């Protein structure tokens, strides 16, 4: 029996998941969970990185009696930490929702043509991209930038403090808008045009690479042996896609959580007029694959609404909110989930109502009608993105696989089937941690490729199926929805 430990860091929480593999079936058990609470201080929004590393050590302590075969780490993308020449961290990593990147896309476009950036990287333009964050640092914090010897993305940074090895895993590096999509290496020419120091960028390794054992210091502190740390598909979406239990080749995946990442898996990037104009992204996948996808704001809007309602008084569970929302009249108003209005924290219920009011629609009158508006709008946005994927690839998508925490939202799953007219298969819920464990098994030589990984998922975890309903009503709603979306 092999036992592996997967650390999965999300934007609001993290957990350590134990995977047990007997050669036929993979079983998982959550051994440690913790909140991830960004901190606003001195006008900047930070990640509390030292606490995140502390929680990692707690997860290892709780698991050390199990004779671990390996450890792997995945997290959100684009954010990073900087190390000085002595390997010390130069301040807490800044949160991608911090305002320092406001206007950076337009400023960069004055130096390097946007089409040229897209042709080089294949990555969609989002204000959160690492390229924009580094450009902002060049302008505003040049002193700290000059001291930086090494840049490491969040999972790479955590792995460094466990092992002492400084590398960047390909899937998480690919999201930065700093890699050349053809060479799969850092695009030094692009970065130098923006005065971004390239000497701090580490070597890139593929998912499944064994980085090395826990450092002697970590072993002594935690009372554990020389457990190898494996560089898994460190971007959480890349890990989730590894765990998509797909049989139909013409499928799309949706990693559903704070963000909704909707796309298809291809053998090469697609960079052309269509993908540029609709702002689709080509992110790195496992074993040379490309994830052609669209980032959608996702359940962030819903989560922020619930957080504010909880602070105001009586707390209702997500299930209770959705049960009441199911009784509200359908299709009364829509939002564009990707409107800039919904990006930042705070006042989310009022922002939903403001969008509806400003676009001349019915304004939701209570929290349940707001929930209904959000869920219907997300499902309709999924349809819009799938239509774009079908146009780009020239292939009809038959099945939508939904994985991740959003699998628990039965209302949204059914709405997704209704809106898209596709069969929706949900599960596994813990796809990100499972994909992390699968990559560890690849690194350990226990499974060879994605096909074997997905067969193992099918043999080990349950799924649920949703078939489309009321498609004519949803078609009419879709025609109205398109009026309010860019």
Instruction: List the chain domain ranges.
Output: 2-234, 236-427+463-486
The CA–CA distances, whole Å, from 145 to 92, 106, 135, 136, 388 equal: 14, 22, 10, 10, 39
Using DSSP bridges, classify how beta strands 251-256 and 399-403 pair: parallel, antiparallel or unpaired: parallel
Using DSSP bridges, classify how beta strands 26-35 and 13-21 pair: parallel, antiparallel or unpaired: antiparallel
Residues 187-192 have a mean pLDDT of: 98
Residues 296-322 have a mean pLDDT of: 94
pLDDT at 433 over 80: yes
Residues 24-48 have a mean pLDDT of: 97
pLDDT at 141 over 80: no
pLDDT at 110 over 90: yes
The CA–CA distances, whole Å, from 81 to 108, 156, 414, 448 equal: 22, 9, 40, 33
Question: Under a CB-based contact definition with an 8 Å cutoff, are residues 389 and 266 in contact?
Answer: no
pLDDT at 330 over 80: yes
* Among 145, 176, 165, CA closest to 78: 176
- pLDDT value, residue 103: 95
pLDDT digits (tens, 9 = 90+) for 17-31: 999 999 999 999 999
How far is 153 from 158, CA to CA, in rounded Å?
9
pLDDT digits (tens, 9 = 90+) for 367-418: 999 999 999 999 999 999 999 999 999 999 999 999 999 999 999 999 999 9
Question: Under a CB-based contact definition with an 8 Å cutoff, are residues 49 and 75 in contact?
Answer: no
How far is 162 from 224, CA to CA, in rounded Å?
12
How far is 395 from 406, CA to CA, in rounded Å?
26
Residue 314 pLDDT class (50, 70, 90 cuts): confident
User: From the CB of residue 410, how many other CB atoms can be counted at a distance below 10 Å?
Assistant: 15
Residues 154-159 have a mean pLDDT of: 98
- pLDDT value, residue 486: 76
- pLDDT value, residue 297: 92
The CA–CA distances, whole Å, from 253 to 107, 158, 309 equal: 34, 28, 31
Q: What angle do CA 113, 119, 123 make, to 5 degrees?
A: 95
CATH of 236-427+463-486, one of 3.30.420.40, 3.10.20.310, 1.10.1740.10, 3.20.20.100: 3.30.420.40
Residue 75 pLDDT class (50, 70, 90 cuts): very high
How far is 120 from 133, CA to CA, in rounded Å?
18
Please give the backbone phi and psi of residue 14, each rounded to the nearest 5 degrees, phi first.
Answer: -140, 165
- pLDDT value, residue 142: 67
- pLDDT value, residue 291: 97
Tokens of 314: 């009586």
Percent of all residues in the chain with a pLDDT value above 90, rounded to a whole number: 96
The answer to whether the Cα torsion of 416, 377, 239, 10 is positive or negative is negative
- 236 classed as catalytic: yes
pLDDT digits (tens, 9 = 90+) for 254-290: 999 999 999 999 999 999 999 999 999 999 999 999 9
The CA–CA distances, whole Å, from 384 to 28, 273, 297, 418 equal: 35, 18, 14, 13
Residue 373, classed as helix, strand or coil, is helix
**Average pLDDT value for the chain:** 96
Look up the CATH number of domain 2-234.
3.30.420.40
* Among 293, 161, 266, 176, CA closest to 215: 161
pLDDT digits (tens, 9 = 90+) for 173-186: 999 999 999 999 99
The answer to whether the Cα torsion of 80, 82, 88, 92 is positive or negative is negative
Percent of all residues in the chain with a pLDDT value above 70, rounded to a whole number: 100
Question: Under a CB-based contact definition with an 8 Å cutoff, are residues 380 and 419 in contact?
Answer: yes
How far is 129 from 30, CA to CA, in rounded Å?
31
Q: Exactly one of 98, 236, 336, 338 is catalytic; name it.
A: 236
Q: Count how many residues are written for the chain.
A: 486
Q: Which residues in 177-213 are b (16+ Cβ under 10 Å) and which e?
A: bbbbbeeeebbeebbeebebbeebbbebbbbbbebbb
pLDDT at 248 over 80: no
């Amino acid at each position: 029996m092999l036992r592996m430990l997967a650390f999965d860091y999300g934007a609001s929480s993290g957990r350590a998941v134990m995977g047990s593999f007997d050669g036929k079936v993979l079983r998982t058990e959550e051994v440690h969970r913790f909140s991830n609470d960004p901190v606003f201080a001195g006008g900047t929004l930070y990640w509390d990185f030292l606490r995140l590393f502390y929680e990692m050590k707690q997860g290892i302590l709780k698991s050390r009696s199990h004779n671990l075969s390996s450890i792997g780490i995945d997290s959100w993308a684009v954010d990073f930490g900087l190390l000085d020449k002595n390997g010390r961290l130069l301040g807490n990593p800044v949160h991608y929702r911090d305002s320092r990147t406001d206007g950076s896309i337009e400023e960069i476009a004055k130096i390097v043509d946007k089409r040229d950036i897209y042709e080089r990287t294949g990555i969609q333009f989002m204000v959160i991209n690492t390229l924009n964050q580094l450009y902002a640092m060049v302008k505003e914090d040049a002193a700290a930038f000059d001291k930086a010897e090494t840049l490491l993305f969040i999972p790479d940074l955590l792995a460094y403090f466990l092992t002492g090895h400084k590398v960047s895993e390909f899937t998480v590096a690919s999201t930065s808008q700093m890699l050349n999509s053809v060479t799969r290496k850092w695009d030094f020419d692009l970065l130098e045009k923006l005065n971004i120091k390239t000497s701090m960028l580490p070597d890139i390794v593929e998912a499944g690479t064994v980085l090395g054992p826990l450092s002697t210091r970590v072993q002594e502190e935690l009372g554990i042996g020389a457990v190898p740390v494996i560089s898994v598909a460190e971007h959480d979406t890349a890990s989730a896609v590894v765990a998509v239990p797909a049989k139909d080749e013409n499928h799309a995946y949706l990693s559903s959580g704070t963000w909704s990442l909707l796309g298809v898996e291809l053998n090469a990037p697609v960079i052309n007029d269509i993908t540029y104009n609709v702002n689709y992204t080509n992110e790195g996948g496992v074993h040379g694959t490309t994830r052609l996808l669209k980032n959608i704001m996702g359940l962030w809007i819903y989560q922020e609404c619930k957080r504010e309602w909880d602070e105001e008084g009586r707390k209702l569970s997500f299930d209770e909110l959705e049960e009441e929302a199911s009784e509200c009249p359908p299709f009364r108003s829509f939002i564009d989930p990707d409107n800039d209005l919904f990006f930042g924290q705070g006042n989310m219920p009022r922002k939903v109502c403001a969008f509806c009011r400003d676009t001349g629609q019915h304004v939701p009158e209570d929290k349940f009608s707001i929930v209904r508006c959000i869920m219907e709008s997300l499902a309709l946005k999924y349809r819009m993105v799938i239509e774009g994927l079908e146009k780009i690839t020239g292939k009809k998508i038959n099945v939508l696989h939904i994985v991740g925490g959003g699998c628990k939202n039965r209302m949204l799953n059914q709405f997704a089937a209704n809106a898209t007219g596709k069969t929706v298969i949900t599960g596994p819920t813990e796809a990100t941690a499972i994909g992390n464990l699968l990559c560890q098994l690849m690194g350990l030589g226990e499974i060879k490729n994605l096909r074997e990984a997905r067969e193992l998922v099918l043999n080990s975890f349950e799924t649920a199926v949703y078939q489309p309903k009321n498609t004519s009503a949803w078609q009419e709603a879709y025609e109205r929805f398109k009026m309010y979306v860019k």
